[in-house]
Amino acid sequence: MVGAGPAGLTVGSILRAAGVGCLVLETATREVVEHRPRAGVIEEWAVRGLARRGLARTLLERAQAHTECEFRFAGERYRFGYTGLTGRHHFVYPQQFLVTDLVREYADVRGGEIRFGVRDVRLHGTGSARPAVSYVCPDSGERRVVEADFVAGCDGARGVTRASLPAGRVRLARHDYGVGWLALLAEAPPSSDCVVFGMHPRGFAGHMARSPEVTRYYLQCPPGDSPENWPHERVWAELRERLGAAGAPPLAEGRLIEKRVLDMHSYVVEPMAFGRLFLAGDAAHLTAPIAAKGLNLALHDAFLLGDGLVAALTKGDDSALAGYSDACLARVWDYQEFSQWLAEMYHGTASGDPYRAGAALARLRRLFSSPAAAAEFAERYLGVRTTG
């Protein structure tokens, strides 16, 4: 496994549970991967998948269950109770906590090998029967070569494994949303008991609880904007304005401990495998954080890949690996399409185009006037589906 994110560590833990020998290579240190704030919303089916594989003990003790979200637009608040419609809920559990649990389970409990801080990872012979991965060892500075039956490319959006898919055999589908999001982490308790989406003529704003002490906020901004243009006062004034609505409690303000501009885009690599190299998670597909789907897709891939590798290595059954890419991509595209649909609802209001603004408002209002539209939204927001 190249990469010790949720995808690589989940694949590794599944392999270790079946007694398969494996190695995880990670460029960052253990300290960094265990403290890096990323996503934080996990869908119920994904938690069940982790639990079935003995990977959700701490999560189930510590995660918060969310049952509703709130939309704010035209100065009003609209609560949307998705659990009432689906019987399912979201788990809120910061990704770094999940990664911490997974590192411990993989390395400390299941005895999986892991090398942190490696440099210059390269893949060799991925189309052959005996692929290899080499890396520079952080202590000795020497290049080491590891031969393997399979390589799992789980090294995220900026990794190197994707480049080993032969150019003529893969397609990269990319979508740019044409907006930026200023991603913020505030040292402040959540200001609502649920996720809040604000659709405002000045731009989208989002509020997402992460823990009792830390809250994630998003502010739509021009793509390529600099975080330096967003001093503390401006951020909070803009959040207050965009998330303001009749009867809304005031925002609990706090020090901003992270401030990054995301150029909102998504991509999908197809197919997600070549020879004995299988990509999983952000290495294969990115979903802009519009619908909190990235972590869930990474886990979905990892379950399929882990189980498929175990079947191939312990039973000689390659069928799951043969169907791996198609099985992952069905859910990937479903989530991509939902993200695109939702993005228009978020950004239409501030697009400067009255036609898009009117259509976005109609899309929003329908969620609260049509039970069928509400049910469909709830199902897609929670990733409830029967296939893929």
Residues that bind ligand APR (CB under 6 A): 2-8, 25-28, 33, 38-39, 95, 121, 154-156, 158-160, 281-283, 294-295, 298
Q: How many CA atoms lie within 13 A of 208 on its CB side?
A: 25
CB 153 within 8 A of CB 2: yes
Sheet with strand 195-199: strands edge to edge: 76-81, 68-73, 195-199, 205-209, 215-221, 171-187, 255-270, 285-286
d(CA 235, CA 218): 10
> Is residue 92 classed as helix, strand or coil in its secondary structure?
strand
C-beta of 121 vs 195, nearer to ligand APR: 121
C-beta of 302 vs 360, nearer to ligand APR: 302
Q: What are phi and psi of 279, to 5 degrees?
A: -90, 150
CB 239 within 8 A of CB 208: no
d(CA 92, CA 59): 9
C-beta of 96 vs 349, nearer to ligand APR: 96
CB 262 within 8 A of CB 165: no
Q: How far is CA 39 from CA 95, 97, 161, 269, in A?
A: 5, 10, 22, 21
Smallest separation, CB 334 to ligand APR (Å): 17
C-beta of 163 vs 257, nearer to ligand APR: 163
C-beta of 151 vs 235, nearer to ligand APR: 151
C-beta of 24 vs 321, nearer to ligand APR: 24
Smallest separation, CB 369 to ligand APR (Å): 33
C-beta of 308 vs 348, nearer to ligand APR: 308
Smallest separation, CB 46 to ligand APR (Å): 11
Smallest separation, CB 202 to ligand APR (Å): 26
Burial of 119 per CB tally in 10 Å (0-12, 13-18, 19+): exposed
Smallest separation, CB 350 to ligand APR (Å): 24
Q: What are phi and psi of 355, to 5 degrees?
A: -70, -50
Smallest separation, CB 128 to ligand APR (Å): 20
C-beta of 154 vs 350, nearer to ligand APR: 154
Q: Find how far residue 5's CA is from the centre of its chain.
A: 11
Smallest separation, CB 9 to ligand APR (Å): 8
Smallest separation, CB 351 to ligand APR (Å): 25
d(CA 174, CA 285): 9
